[in-house]
Amino acid sequence: MPLGLNRPVWIVDSEFDVRNHLRHARLPRPGTKAQSCKMIGELAAERLPPDRPPWQLWMVEGFEGAKVVGVLKLNHAMADGGTCAELLDLLARPEPNASPVAARSHAPPQRQAALTCCGTAYATYRTSLYERCLGW
């Protein structure tokens, strides 16, 4: 490895506190797709606190009534867009060895789902992000 560095490794964090990662929000009624995309854009536009771990999971209640939307927000240093999509697919599977939930899409970004559209690389482009979500 260059500069005498080693490959990254996972370590156990003895001070791990899930409250540093999990967040909660509620959509205003009636919880439309436009309201959901607007909120996701606002969440994505907020910087992750530098004194906290580089990821958050938001549970947004009230989508189309009683549905809950999960919004995973993470620093790009942790995973690129493709890796993030694979992680989300693994998290969405009903069982550890189940088949992928959704087939890979080769559609342009404006056609992809809200988590893909709003989740990783576009966090600093709030207005553009909002427009992409509404343009599905």
Residues 55, 48 contacting (CB under 8 angstroms):
yes
Q: Which domain holds residue 64?
A: 16-134
Is 57 part of any domain?
yes
Q: Which are the catalytic amino acids?
A: 76
Strand order in the sheet with 22-26: 22-26, 55-63, 67-74
Residues 118, 129 contacting (CB under 8 angstroms):
yes
- Average pLDDT of every residue of the chain: 75
pLDDT of residue 103: 55
Dihedrals phi, psi of 23, to nearest 5 degrees:
-135, 160
Number of domains within the chain: 1
For the chain, how big is the Rg over CA atoms in Å?
16
Provide the whole-model pTM: 0.61
pLDDT confidence tier of residue 106, bands split at 50, 70 and 90 = low
Is 59 part of any domain?
yes
Is 1 part of any domain?
no
pLDDT in tens, 15-70: 888 888 899 999 999 999 999 999 999 998 998 888 887 889 899 999 998 999 88
Is 11 part of any domain?
no
- List the structure tokens of 127: 């207005």
pLDDT of residue 1: 63
